[in-house]
A and B are shown apart, each in its own frame.
Chain A
């Protein structure tokens, strides 16, 4: 499956180092998912609320003949870059037709207008119906090519290719991986129907992988992107399931007496933390992905829940009310050792989530009756408020650590929102005619 359905990609700049590994995995997961899932109703719409400082100026020109296909590459790339908040999209000038190859570019014209970074390209429809997308990014001041690729794909993969191009531009100009090709999971509620949905990071191509009349919560992607763990009430009580995205099958991960909840993957994609109340009050346990080898991790007489493992697998942060109010603690992921309390401000600090670099964690704090996002630096132990919502919940980091997706309630309706980890950029994401909550941002690449 990997080789036959992957887009045919080839660098056409000999000195250029292609992004290995992630390139081939690009659409394999998407294709697998389409076969195992059903299209969901209601597309997500993303609206940018704030803007970041120090935005990088960039000019994305329309690609030659891109309107032969319904998905217009340059528009998708522009929307991706704009949504990240890290770019300032510049005016596209008066040169017609637009240059589509470096040989067409009048460097002096763009230099004089101050358009230093230029993205251009074209789409060629091949006789077999497939599309060849050629794109380059050019520095008009230095008159050099920054990056260039050609992709030959089926028409259905054009959106995916546009996201891939946006990822390359993002990585080249910021030095960090882009997350435009990643996907998100979330729970949508339509009247009395709950759906576990998966969509592209820009909200397109939403599909549901589970739908019924009982609540669904806490979806969690495996770090390798092949499985999603979640809690479902379909048996009228909380049970943890594992859904395999490659073949659409699912299995019961934890079904013990009492509550089974809060699945959290360990970095090896082989084991998960879960929270069970079978021995009394909710406690942390570790279980293998096949449901075997259950081991108790925490031993307290209080609620211990919402585990999140550090990327190096050494630590687990979690919520506990052992001190009389829910606060965030940290303990060794191997068990043993004492738990260290990390939050001291306020009487309600919950839902800690490690950042991808493990240097900080995001959590929900209650402040003057409002529930909002805050970030804690692990070394300095400094806390920074990120949002000012009234009912913010369920924060989840983008895999590059730049954005945090979370759930909020606006005018009685559940929406998703995103904030940059410096708090400067804000996005609001709404779905047509439905309540959305419980977001989980998927990993980079995936399906390796």
Chain B
């Protein structure tokens, strides 16, 4: 699609150059008609200088055309200028999110069994993400709720949704726009830690804040 657009731009650019060339030729003819009463010598000298001017003009036109072509060629070689424009701020955001010293580096909230309330210890991390999302309204996150393997898969699916939604609610209370946050529950279907022990279960009772476009492609 973008290649096609560039192609059309080049075509328009070339057509523009062509019409400019023909109108300058018409100008030369008009000029000669208005100076009919000049002497032959003057006429000859004028004609010579006119020819020189025309040649210069032609050379100038060719140079401009070449420049335009070159510019067009460069546009093809250097594709998608908007990517290079937005790449810089995104890199900054990503590096801020990945700075291990930043509270933003913590993206997970852990829960007690069958609970969905956010424990006190995760409040600073939630507040950091809330502030960050308010400052970067272009960013979107997906909160993914998970449960440990025990009990009913269906009940866990509902519980995981509640966990994700409770993080969303906490973020919106901090001023984050609801449209910046989507939620999903994986219930106990996508355990991060395998094994049937308290350590694995504790790791799997979790909500993850996933920055879309930074942590995941979608």
Residues of A within 8 A of B (CB): 215, 217-218, 231, 233, 236-238, 258-259, 261-262, 275, 277, 280-282, 303, 305-306, 319, 321, 325-326, 348, 350-351, 364, 366, 371, 391, 393-394, 409, 412, 438
Contacts and interface: CB of A to CB of B under 8 A. Distances in A.
Given A303-B155, A371-B150, A258 B114 contact: no
A319 B152 contact: yes
Nearest to B190: A215
Given A261-B157, A350-B155, A391-B150, A215 B189 contact: yes
A212 to B, nearest CB: 13
A376 to B, nearest CB: 16
B165 A281 contact: yes
A215 B188 CA distance: 10
B182 to A, nearest CB: 9
B151 interface: yes
Contacts of A371: 150-151
Given A217-B157, A258-B165, 6 more contacts: A233-B189, A237-B185, A326-B155, A350-B155, A391-B149, A393-B151
B107 interface: no
A299 to B, nearest CB: 16
A264 to B, nearest CB: 10
Interface in B168-188: 183-187
B161 interface: yes
B206 interface: no
Given A233-B189, A238-B157, A305-B158, A350 B165 contact: no
B196 A412 contact: yes
Nearest to B153: A217
A366 B152 CA distance: 11
B189 A303 contact: no
B162 interface: yes
Contacts of A391: 149-150, 196
Nearest to A303: B158
Interface in B80-120: 114
Of the candidates A238, A319, A348, A366, the one having the most CB atoms from chain B within 10 angstroms of its own CB is A238
Given A217-B189, A236-B184, A326-B114, A258 B161 contact: yes
B135 interface: no
B133 interface: no
11 contacts: A215-B190, A217-B154, A231-B157, A237-B184, A258-B183, A261-B158, A262-B157, A305-B155, A305-B157, A306-B152, A394-B152
Given A233-B189, A236-B184, A237-B184, A438 B196 contact: no
A364 B151 contact: yes
Nearest to B183: A258
Contact of B185 (A259, A366, A393): A259
A281 B114 contact: no
Contacts of A366: 151
B159 interface: yes
Contacts of A238: 157, 185, 187
A199 to B, nearest CB: 21
A237 B184 CA distance: 6
Residue of B114, B154, B160, B190 with most chain A CB atoms under a 10 A cut-off: B154
A399 B150 CA distance: 28
A371 B187 CA distance: 17
Contacts of B159: 303
Contact of B152 (A277, A364, A412): A364
Contact of A261 (B114, B154, B165, B190): B154
A348 B148 CA distance: 15
A394 B150 CA distance: 12
A319 B155 contact: yes
B100 to A, nearest CB: 28
B155 A259 contact: no
A74 B80 CA distance: 74
B151 A233 contact: no
B162 to A, nearest CB: 6
A218 B150 CA distance: 16
B196 A348 contact: no
Given A217-B154, A233-B186, A412-B196, A259 B161 contact: yes
Contacts of B185: 237-238, 258-259, 277
A218 B162 contact: no
A400 to B, nearest CB: 25
Nearest to B194: A412
B165 A277 contact: yes
A321 B113 CA distance: 13
